[in-house]
Amino acid sequence: MNDSSFRKVLAKFYIDEVTVIEIPPPEEIKFAETLRFSNLNVHIPTIEYFALSKLFSTRQKDEEDLKETGILKHSNIPELVNMIDDYKDYVLNPNNKDYNFHNFHDYLQIHGI
């Protein structure tokens, strides 16, 4: 199967193609739960690590999720603020205004937080 046909199959089943996250590093992600199946383990990150992966993204879809879902409402905001400060130094260009963490306070305001 080539890339084009693979993407068509993903689209047919409404599955978004997602790139690997840069921040937080996978080995530092804390998991809230692990779902175990006979041939698959699914690790569910804590809501803060899930939010962090969207905040350190430049994808429009992640920004929409931060604005339109309850991810931030269910997060521990002081913990998330500390995590943002801790991880900012690890991105290639923390001054890149396309990173969603630059709009963090706007997202909080949208949700009345």
pLDDT at residue number 19: 52
Taking the C-alpha atoms of residue 81 and residue 30, their distance in angstroms, rounded to an integer, is 16
Taking the C-alpha atoms of residue 8 and residue 15, their distance in angstroms, rounded to an integer, is 10
pLDDT at residue number 9: 76
Is the omega angle on the peptide bond into residue 24 within 30 degrees of 0, that is, cis? yes
Residue (of 40, 21, 8, 14) closest to 100 by Cα position: 21
Q: What does the pLDDT look like over 1-37, one tens digit per residue?
A: 666 776 777 778 777 655 556 677 778 889 999 999 9
Q: What does the pLDDT look like over 27-69, one tens digit per residue?
A: 888 999 999 998 888 888 999 999 999 999 999 999 999 999 9
pLDDT at residue number 21: 65
